[in-house]
Amino acid sequence: MDSISIKLLERKFYKKKVETSTLRFDILVLEIESLTYQLDYEKKKVKNLNSIILQKDLQIKTLNEQRTLDQLTKPSFINQFGKYGIFALIGFVAGVLITAI
């Protein structure tokens, strides 16, 4: 082999090496872009889940406040018993008076 053919072979070898390096670099760039898209998707997913959690927390808070308000405004058992107890006592006294007469 003469020196010219060796130079040509070396040139082809280095040219292929550069092409494969370029291809590897392009593949790495594509992988990085893919991972970036996946990361963005996961961030959006987490953000959506956080907003759902905030909505549920707000609903729970509202329901707890409504339940507390309902408990404060509803008459308690003792208040209702006292009201009906007075009517029962009046009815009993009236029944005793009627039977005594």
pLDDT digits (tens, 9 = 90+) for 50-78: 999 999 999 999 999 888 877 766 666 66
Report the pLDDT averaged over residues 2-19. Answer: 76
Angle at 78 between CA 73 and CA 83, to 5 degrees: 90
Q: How far is CA 28 from the centre of its chain?
A: 34
Note the pLDDT of residue 76: 64
Distance CA 39, CA 31 (A): 12
Distances (CA, A) of 41 to 44, 64, 90: 5, 35, 73
pTM over 0.75: no
Report the pLDDT averaged over residues 21-33. Answer: 88
3-state helix, strand, coil split of the chain in percent (to 5) is 95, 0, 5
Angle at 52 between CA 46 and CA 54, to 5 degrees: 105
Note the pLDDT of residue 67: 85
